Amino acid sequence: MRALVITGPGEAAVQDVEPPVAAPGQVIVDIERVGVCGTDLELFTGEMNYLRTGRSWYPLRPGHEWCGQVTALGEGVDRGWLGRRVTGDTMIGCGRCERCRAGRHHVCADLAEIGISRGYAGALAERLAVPATALHALPDQVDTTLGALVEPGGNALRAFHGAGLRPGERLLVLGTGTIGLLVALFARSRGVEVHLMGRDAEGLRLARTLGFTGIWTRPTLPATVWHAVVDASNAAELPALALELVEPARRVVYIGLAGTPSTLDTRDLLLKDVTAVGILGGSAGLADAIKAYADASVDARPLVAATVGLAQTAEVLAGHRPDGAGPGPKIHIDPRL
């Protein structure tokens, strides 16, 4: 089958590889759509921290935001999965340790991440092997575009829940990339007053077309009460700003990752009695993200700027924006093309 393989920093190409065979407990999924994520970009450029710690290595087959159809079953898998449209959890725990048994498999000490770590082949390919325990069925109302947005949607929904907001309260989201906009969409659907801060007016244009009116840059940000702040940016200075801006005794949520270490003064955290929440992975949010897409309370499709074939993936990873792409931050890949 065809699959995208990253062989080193800045080096990626479609190769013919052996197709996966379903091991006991696994299924084979024919992939229909894959989202290109910032993590994929860091794996391609070589900037991903996992490459320095040995958790990831080249050659590497990326892709962890996906959907497709189950076409083969391994031993012990319920035959009801055959033919189902599905997406799946990126985080694959051992299933045996205390963390996994308690539902915290996303922080398992032996965690493997599909298309990211421990050599687990990803979805930027024609087919993917995945444990049946990681699958989530997609209802008919969730098309392929939304299906490949479930994984980032789960992350964003966890970030929103981490903010601890009630309807009518005010949220500030730092960053207008895919995750920031998804946090804003989920928050608005739950009755929260949403504001977004971006780098410049151009970057905030899509947020405005999505119907958000609280659109700011740092110089224009109003002095008001922020009942929660979500940092969904990759700017090293914004974690400290989130803490500075949030209302005392409320919450800041950190889901963005900067390329260099971020610092904040824990004295400010303590003296403001602020709760800081870190979000790793969308596991606990996937099911509810699917429900929100299915009932149309959240429509994330405008975030996808273009869908291209597998052969164009290396160009996308190298920073090329497809001709005719819309304003959204997300590029999708159809491995069938």
Q: What's the confidence (pLDDT) of residue 233? A: 95
The answer to whether domain 2-149+300-334 and domain 155-278 are alike in fold is: no
pLDDT tens digits for 224-282?
A: 999 999 999 999 999 999 999 999 999 999 999 888 899 999 999 999 999 999 999 99
The sign of the torsion formed by the CA atoms of 192, 193, 199, 200 equals positive
Q: Take residue 305 and report the two structure tokens written for it.
A: 């700027």
Task: Give the mean pLDDT of 2-29.
Answer: 98
Mean per-residue pLDDT over the chain, rounded: 96
Please name the helix (run of DSSP H) or strand (run of DSSP E) that holds residue 52, with its range, or none: helix 49-53
Q: How many helices (H) and strands (E) does the chain have?
A: 11, 17
- What is the rounded distance in angstroms from the CA atom of residue 202 to the CA atom of residue 237? 21
Angle at 198 between CA 220 and CA 192, to 5 degrees: 85
Q: What's the confidence (pLDDT) of residue 201? A: 77
Class of domain 2-149+300-334: alpha beta
User: pTM for the whole thing?
Assistant: 0.96
Q: What's the confidence (pLDDT) of residue 202? A: 74
Question: 111, 281 in Cβ contact below 8 A?
Answer: no
CATH T-level fold of 155-278? Rossmann fold (3.40.50)
pLDDT band at 216, cuts 50/70/90? very high
Q: What is the DSSP code string of 268-322?
A: HHHHTTPEEEE---SGGGHHHHHHHHHTTS---GGGEEEEEEGGGHHHHHTTPPP
Please say if the pLDDT value at position 218 is more than 80. Answer: yes
Q: What are phi and psi of 247, to 5 degrees?
A: -60, 140
Cα torsion through 158, 102, 278, 39, rounded to 10: -80
Q: List the chain domain ranges.
A: 2-149+300-334, 155-278
Please say if the pLDDT value at position 104 is more than 90. Answer: yes
Closest by Cα among 24, 36, 95 to 322 = 36
- What percent of the chain lies above the pLDDT cut of 90? 96
- Residue linked to tokens 């996808």: 304
Q: What's the confidence (pLDDT) of residue 151? A: 98
pLDDT tens digits for 278-335?
A: 999 999 999 999 999 999 999 999 999 999 999 999 999 999 999 999 999 999 999 9
Q: What's the confidence (pLDDT) of residue 161? A: 98
